[in-house]
Amino acid sequence: MAKNDSGVEPLESPSATASNGGDSSGGETGVGQSNTGPPPQSKVTPESNRDESDEAAKESSASTPDQEDEDVAALTEGIGSVSIAPSKPPSGDKEESAPEAIKSVAALLSSKKCRNIVILTGAGVSCSAGIPDFRTPGTGLYDNLQKYELPYPEAVFSVDFYRRNPDPFVQLASELWPGLKHSPTITHSFIALLDKKGILLRNYTQNIDMLDVLAGVSEERMIECHGHFRTAKCIECSLSFDGEECKRIFVKEKRAPTCRACGGYVKPDIVFFGEALPDLFHRTVNKDMKKADLLIVMGTCECHIFPAILEPIALVLSSRELLPHCYFFGIAPLKALMVGPVNMIPEIVRKDCPRVLFNREIVGSFGQKNGPRTRRKSYDTSARDTFHGGDCDESIRILCDVLGWGQELDELNASTRLG
């Protein structure tokens, strides 16, 4: 084999080996070996066969680059079909298409300035769980309770009426008892996610369904303004009654338990009309509102704000003594006053605290130019308020997608679904 100018023998090509018959016997030269002796004895191949062999070798050698291109293309296509889920939505996708109001809320949550968030929720956050709200015409709980021939809708939450006829509340409670039929919604899971991230100061809820706790919100972060089903007591002597036993009698036996001491009816610790809100609410609310750096109100039509001077009137009108007379004299619209003092929460946060409303309609003083008329001087709320109308769950899902929390939200919600 001839050497090149640098003295290094060139490697034989596969075609050269093939043309030599590929026989390793009789002293065939190997790679990197010189051939200084007599030529090896090889089998004589007819000229036509040799030509065909040379032609095939050339074709094989000529097709190699094309085959390599095809292999590279196939590999590239295979790699291109593999997708890696981003931790945050790509720019220009969900973030850019989100409504401006939601993007502004996402900016607040991303700024790390909001570390003490207060949530206020109403019945609207539980509707997608299958729990109707109270006052929507045709579908609300009060309309559905007419089959019990109540003297007025709110009688189902009247201690005096319960004392005379507990059956309507027993039927209602047995259908709504937490942990049996209804799972937490996306909105409940969002509140639990805020708690998990350590930025939830408190969750004030007007609901009695306990879906917040079932979603994973820690009890120390909860203020269940209108009570809960975990504990129970006698309506006459206030003796405590085992919560699980109360649940069994309500749900299985469909009757009201009776007190072992005085024989009076027992009910879960749900706040009925005329009863005081939990002591924890009164001990906590003012301190929380001073500390809050973001207030989010969701799913409520009950933030009907009225002058603080009317607060005592609201409490009187919502008493079990006067409530029936309000309906008798046709002043049912005063029901807007019956949710105090919970409905005052948006008005007692600091003036510099941003307020967000996710709701089907704007309520209370949100966005008002002349501000609320409270014990303090009226002031403009429009600069600090953000309102996004629509379904709460949809709004929260968009918000979490913008924040990059979407997958975490879905996983948390899936882990709390019943059956």
Section 20-41 average pLDDT? 41
Question: Which pLDDT score, from 0 to 100, does residue 17 have?
Answer: 41
- The percentage of residues in the chain with a pLDDT greater than 90, rounded to a whole number, is 49
7 pLDDT higher than 70: no
Catalytic residues: 226
238 burial type by CB count under 10 A (0-12 exposed, 13-18 middle, 19+ buried): exposed
Whole-model pTM: value is: 0.69
Question: Which pLDDT score, from 0 to 100, does residue 270 have?
Answer: 95
Q: pLDDT confidence of 153, banded at 50, 70, 90?
A: confident
CA distance 393 to 414: 14
Question: Which pLDDT score, from 0 to 100, does residue 10 have?
Answer: 39
239-287 pLDDT, tens digit per residue, is 999 999 999 999 999 999 999 999 999 999 999 988 889 999 999 999 9
- The percentage of residues in the chain with a pLDDT greater than 70, rounded to a whole number, is 62
Question: Which pLDDT score, from 0 to 100, does residue 364 have?
Answer: 83
Question: Which pLDDT score, from 0 to 100, does residue 68 have?
Answer: 56
What does DSSP assign to residue 117? Answer: E
Per DSSP (E only), the strands in 285-367 are 294-298, 355-359
377 pLDDT higher than 80: no
* CA-based nearest residue to 376, from 397, 347, 405: 347
Identify the three-state secondary structure at position 267: strand
412 pLDDT higher than 80: yes
Structure tokens at 407: 């997958």
- List the Cα angle 375/379/383 in 5-degree steps: 140
Give the residue carrying structure tokens 């009863």. 275
Question: Which pLDDT score, from 0 to 100, does residue 131 have?
Answer: 85
CA distance 60 to 14: 10
161-202 pLDDT, tens digit per residue, is 999 999 999 988 998 899 999 999 999 999 999 999 999 999
390 pLDDT higher than 50: yes
Average pLDDT of the chain, as a whole number: 75
Give the residue carrying structure tokens 């909860």. 222
